[in-house]
Structure 1
């Protein structure tokens, strides 16, 4: 049964499998239909950006002296691809299906001083060439030292290598000018057609020598004879990059039949991480949730139940005048906080983020945002963020009206501009730095205009519509009346200090996600695919529960200490986990990455600052709403004159 024939049914099956059994292994839905190739059908290899984990700055393939086709054609790109720096173009590498070739000459180039310098710099920075065949990225198979371990696949091949024994002026750089391609295909038993299921390469550096005069691609090479293939494979005579010295680019291509079916062809690329680590992450997070759930259950079922029963009985006794604990502050607990407008804005923005992430992960688990759809994840997140502006405006206006606010347009304007403006300024500065490096990762003017249009043309109006609808609704009534004169807050114990409790509150939400965070950072900064969305969805649910429970616990302790200023503290308690996220990102930078350039470091910390800021808004809003529900619940359960 083919997946594409039953997308809806199989989507639900894969959702159940992804969440409960084997997260991340079912995502080929409904996807692009497989391409059937007959023998000798042309196969066009496309080239993508040059990437390096040392600089994080992508460059166009043709920014270096490589062989070019007669006409360079750009492939259609979505918004996510442009933001990621993808530049997909055609190449002179054209195969014929199931027709092996050996020692094919692509072209001969003579780099000048500038070209040779660029090549050496890119080899020094360990840049990789990325290619695509039938939507499959090119990989280099690397055997592990442990023979029992599966083969590791490196994305793209290195432009060249640096001589390990060269230093200073004697440094030697060798270019990989011969590519030995291997195309794996799955043959249809009933029809004489095949589908491509693998695209591998082994790069070599060979100092080619022409056997006679140069005659274009018909030249016979003494170093690359089809009958003496071992000469090329040995790498005994590598080609050093030098100005005004010829570079002859050649390639082999071989075709191997594979048992892997088209629907499973991405498994080879994706099943490189150990699922046991993810399960450990889930178990670790679940232990945190169980611990917090036990504390919340103890508070709700024992302490609170006893408190409420006690308070309700005291109403008929003389002891009612000797109230203590959280009931004592009932006349101040719903007093609007300072900077209430800013709180409304951040809560609305957090709702926008929550909606975006929830819908995105649901689509990802169902398989609509698989890695085969390049840029799809980022495009979906941007569009969902824009359309979730409706809920942001609604949430901020509802809270604003509860605080007796009257200018709903003002709160809508702040909600529409505060967070996006901060992110846009950081993004614009980083883009200027990338543009200064002449990297393909710099967002073009047209794309920047499209982003501004999405913001001003769609998001802002939707925020205003949401605010209008939210403000029209009746204001949320407080369960108890608020006194006109604020009550004085008694001196608090050291462990109830706001900064201390907020820092403590952020540890557990971060602890629930930090293992999964490692895989996310690896996929972003080390050019690996992130695909286990089932695990990520579970971790997201655990994060929600953890943020809610730790905020409720600390809020209860705060109210019992007769401190009624819980509004902002509830937001900052769980939101402080963003601080730990940024600290972990800093630790990751110095321990896992090899970035040395200033622009690359600024790029990393700039984007991680945006990520931490977004995480703060998300987790803070979850904690706020949990505490909001909790306080309304307990104060509506007691009798108050």
Structure 2
């Protein structure tokens, strides 16, 4: 499946093209009575497993005379959408009552196939004039006349469409089945052939909702009063965390620093030969370059790129690009913005690597390009193989894989190299207020709680506690069927996350230096990024305690892609933590006289 012209334009015109949506066959969405309004069947799958979806006609439904596949954008394909013409004909303003779709004799194998789908609570998804339509394939009923453990399975054979219109526009559509009507369903409990008459009916109703607001109802669920109350509670909880943390820094850390400055100033005036203690004692080692500086610079480059990526995504969300069921817009934005911001990763990594007096900048660029994309690519290869084995719509067609490869080869990689060349030639110098001694001082023995892992646990807990309430709604939207639209609240929570991460990293860096441990570079990065590990721990809790997801495919998709997301958060927040710690360390060592 190849990109359409819209997908090629999107590489050059980022904001305008991401805002573009996939239009229906009627370009202006206006119709005359008896006009054929496009209806496309999308996919079916278990309701509890959002990643495990299949093509609509993988189940033995009635096939239309001519099955037409809808051309899809890159984001739609990544989203698992596979739209084909549906067997129902819903003409504009034409009511129908028990219209026959087809008479079908289900074989024993087809009955078993439908029964398996009903048992797994399969739902279907269609799009009518770009409006989503859902429904369930059937229902399961406990058989009280026989063994209580046995069930009866019913397949819905009649589907009723309620459609609202305003003048010449379709405004709303819903699909329902009569669960208690025996004539609207057929028993498929036994392994035997069944004759089924698939029928549907249509009822049109007038409404005064304007066409511009027809998508508003899909965002109302996340804006209900009780949901807003929980969201604001999340923000209040986060703000209290920030206030407590900033209060701690203001009253304790700043006071300690002030006393340190006074003490070191008095030491200089009274006894030049007095032995130095505390963080001043290691002024000749604190700016000693870290081990594995090429990897460190690459991590900073990737983290900076991901930070800019998240900021752009928030901008697009706040201006209204990601409204409900703008199919594939988020995935398109992620691919395009990541490709266009790869120059930031190259420039940041090469520039910082040069400041650390690194020589092999080509290897540094290769490491930068592979540090995040490498694990993501390996993870994708495994998960796409799983999807192919399941024959699910999550498996990307070969043409889409080629398009993504071309974007990486023709956009991402060249921009990474150009950014790297610009960073290499920037000739920036590392600004260290203290001279570094020739030989490093020995780090004194420290208690266990000052080692890396306990410090990471302390550093990650507070930022995670500031966002964990909002995390549930994000997970329920991404890995469920809820709709998330309150991006302004999410942006506030994101800002709080950055502030808390920076502050806690600064505090732990000070305590590390006060204990005369000068290896703070990697420690500050790991402590800042440790929130990503807490988020992955929340994934375990959400999967086993808050969701009903099951099966190898859904489990591998959930934990596989969440591992990549949490790894991205680790790199991004690690970069934020290190930058804050670097600013703090430079400030305190500029404030004292170092020989």
Q: TM-score, length-normalised on structure 2? A: 0.90
**Aligned counterparts, 1:460-471, within 5 A:** 460-471=413-424
Question: Is the alpha carbon distance of 1:169 and 1:591 closer, same or farther for their aligned partners in structure 2, counting shifts above 3 Å?
Answer: closer
Residue of structure 2 aligned with 1:375, choices 328, 349, 352:
328
Residue of structure 2 aligned with 1:108, choices 81, 103, 108:
103
Match status 1:314 vs 2:267: yes
Question: Is the alpha carbon distance of 1:202 and 1:537 closer, same or farther for their aligned partners in structure 2, counting shifts above 3 Å?
Answer: same
Displacement of 1:301 in angstroms is: 4.2
Q: Which runs of 5+ in 2 are unaligned?
A: 1-17
Displacement of 1:426 in angstroms is: 1.1
35-44 or 236-245: bigger deviation = 236-245
32-41 or 302-311: bigger deviation = 32-41
3-state SS, counterpart of residue 442 of structure 1: coil
3-state SS, counterpart of residue 295 of structure 2: helix
Aligned length: 564
Residue of structure 2 aligned with 1:132, choices 127, 134, 140:
127
Displacement of 1:314 in angstroms is: 3.3
Q: Which residue does 2:40 correspond to in 1?
A: 46
User: 1:261-291: CA deviations, max 9, x gaps?
Assistant: 2222222222213111111111111111111
Residue of structure 2 aligned with 1:82, choices 54, 64, 77:
77
Question: Is the alpha carbon distance of 1:284 and 1:34 closer, same or farther for their aligned partners in structure 2, counting shifts above 3 Å?
Answer: farther
Q: Which residue does 2:6 correspond to in 1?
A: none
Q: Which residue does 1:557 correspond to in 2?
A: 511
Q: Which residue does 1:303 correspond to in 2?
A: 256
Match status 1:194 vs 2:193: no
Residue of structure 2 aligned with 1:240, choices 184, 187, 203:
187
Match status 1:504 vs 2:499: no
Residue of structure 1 aligned with 2:177, choices 183, 199, 203:
203
Q: Which residue does 1:175 correspond to in 2?
A: 155
Q: Which residue does 2:469 correspond to in 1?
A: 515
Is the 1:44–1:93 Cα contact (8 Å) retained in structure 2?
Answer: no
Question: Is the alpha carbon distance of 1:29 and 1:336 closer, same or farther for their aligned partners in structure 2, counting shifts above 3 Å?
Answer: closer
Is the 2:96–2:202 Cα contact (8 Å) retained in structure 1?
Answer: yes
Match status 1:68 vs 2:63: yes
In structure 2, distance between residues paired with 1:307 and 1:169: 73
Displacement of 1:337 in angstroms is: 1.4
In structure 1, distance between residues paired with 2:36 and 2:290: 68
Match status 1:530 vs 2:484: yes
In structure 2, distance between residues paired with 1:353 and 1:179: 46
Is the 2:47–2:123 Cα contact (8 Å) retained in structure 1?
Answer: no
Q: Which residue does 2:9 correspond to in 1?
A: none
Displacement of 1:313 in angstroms is: 4.4
Displacement of 1:309 in angstroms is: 4.0
Question: Is the alpha carbon distance of 1:593 and 1:43 closer, same or farther for their aligned partners in structure 2, counting shifts above 3 Å?
Answer: same
User: 1:116-144: CA deviations, max 9, x gaps?
Assistant: 22211211111111011121111xxxxxx
**Aligned counterparts, 1:264-343, within 5 A:** 264-273=213-222, 274-298=227-251, 301-318=254-271, 321-343=274-296
Q: TM-score, length-normalised on structure 1? A: 0.84
Q: Which runs of 5+ in 1 are unaligned?
A: 1-27, 139-155, 187-192, 206-232
In structure 1, distance between residues paired with 2:586 and 2:411: 35
Question: Is the alpha carbon distance of 1:337 and 1:531 closer, same or farther for their aligned partners in structure 2, counting shifts above 3 Å?
Answer: same
Q: Which residue does 2:93 correspond to in 1?
A: 98
Residue of structure 2 aligned with 1:255, choices 204, 209, 213:
204
Displacement of 1:50 in angstroms is: 1.0
Q: What's the RMSD between the two structures over aligned residues?
A: 2.2
Is the 2:231–2:489 Cα contact (8 Å) retained in structure 1?
Answer: yes
Is the 2:253–2:507 Cα contact (8 Å) retained in structure 1?
Answer: no
Q: Which residue does 2:546 correspond to in 1?
A: 592
Is the 1:30–1:367 Cα contact (8 Å) retained in structure 2?
Answer: no
Q: Which residue does 1:446 correspond to in 2?
A: 399
